[in-house]
């Protein structure tokens, strides 16, 4: 019996489908994920879904501090027992979606690692992007299909909101594919590990929060044109005409055809100059 099953048996833990529990059970993959996070003695690493603590243990060998997030009370007991004598490991009980990464005060320095629950992978990813100013990098495991959507280029059916937001705020690299038999219980899907390096350009660090809203509106109904979807902003037709003309973008295109740079032009146009000029001109004509 391997270490994972021994630990689960010792604490009378049976994986719960309702929590999306499928524990990574391959020591080599665990070591590769830890190595991809590149833990250093000065690093603070937040691990999402620490489970029984196998990856926690690997990270703690090199990192100065590991904050292990876990929501399952049964696993919390096991984690506290295993790391009671390790001052560099802190166990945090609760939902990662309630965790305030920005409150730790490590601006741009946190590293985040995890085999995250697949049924809430997208909300977790968006939550992390909202706290990107506090984060240096992410190494996360997703269901393979979602990982492909995250890393997708413009123009295809996989390209969508996660693709645009991740490309805007991070540099994404696909590190490895993990087959189902590396987990217990064995899932029905393949998984992929992605690394995200947070972009540090000034405009991304200090930028506004309108970009995600624009992207979500543009993809609200994939088969509709940009013009139809962006009417959700409540802009009159003349304003939309001014916006698309100034940005050099055809409003009859669909969101999946736009590059991140084109979305940036639209976001910039919505913020100030194009609409400001439009409304000033309209006022002068009255």
Instruction: Indicate which CATH number applies to the domain containing 131.
Output: 3.40.50.150
pLDDT at residue 279 in the model: 52
Instruction: Indicate which CATH number applies to the domain containing 279.
Output: 1.10.8.100
Tell me which residue range forms the domain holding 191: 3-203
Q: Which of 137, 171, 203 is the last residue of a domain?
A: 203
122: nearest Cα among 20, 31, 241, 209: 20
pTM across the whole model: 0.90
**34/155 same-domain check:** yes
- Written as tens digits, the pLDDT of the chain (286 aa) is 488 989 899 888 888 877 778 899 999 999 999 999 999 999 999 999 999 999 999 999 999 999 999 999 999 999 999 999 899 999 999 999 999 999 988 777 999 999 999 999 999 999 999 999 999 999 999 999 999 999 999 999 999 999 999 999 999 999 999 999 999 999 999 999 999 999 977 444 444 667 898 999 999 999 999 999 998 777 788 889 989 998 999 999 999 999 999 999 998 888 765 565 555 555 555 4
Q: DSSP labels for 93-151? A: ES-GGG--GGGG--TTTEEEEEE--GGGHHHHHHHHHHTGGGEEEEEEEEEHHHHHHHT
């Amino acid at each position: 019996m391997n270490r994972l099953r021994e630990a689960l048996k010792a604490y009378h833990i049976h994986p719960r489908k309702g929590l999306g529990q499928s524990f990574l059970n391959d020591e080599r993959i665990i070591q590769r994920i830890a190595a991809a996070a590149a833990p250093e003695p000065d690093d603070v690493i937040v691990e999402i879904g620490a489970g029984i603590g196998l990856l926690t243990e690997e990270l703690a060998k090199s990192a100065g501090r590991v904050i292990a997030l876990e929501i399952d009370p049964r696993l919390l007991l096991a984690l506290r027992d295993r790391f009671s004598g390790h001052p560099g490991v802190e166990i945090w009980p609760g939902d990662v979606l309630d965790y305030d990464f920005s409150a730790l005060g490590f601006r741009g320095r946190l590293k985040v690692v995890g085999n995250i629950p697949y049924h809430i992978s997208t909300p977790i990813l968006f939550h992390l992007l909202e706290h990107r100013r506090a984060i240096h990098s992410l190494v996360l495991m997703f269901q393979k299909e979602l990982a492909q959507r995250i890393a997708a280029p413009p123009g295809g059916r996989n390209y969508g909101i996660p693709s645009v937001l991740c490309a805007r705020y991070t540099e994404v690299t696909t590190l490895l594919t993990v087959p189902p038999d590396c987990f217990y219980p064995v899932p029905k899907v393949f998984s992929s590990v992605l690394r995200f390096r947070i972009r540090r350009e000034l405009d991304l660090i200090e930028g506004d929060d309108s970009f995600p809203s624009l992207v979500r509106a543009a993809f609200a109904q994939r088969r509709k044109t940009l013009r139809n979807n962006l009417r959700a902003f409540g802009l009159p037709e003349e304003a939309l005409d001014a916006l698309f003309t100034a940005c050099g973008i055809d409003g009859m295109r669909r969101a999946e055809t736009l590059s991140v740079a084109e979305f940036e032009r639209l976001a910039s146009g919505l913020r100030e100059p194009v609409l400001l000029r439009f409304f000033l001109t309209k006022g002068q004509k009255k």
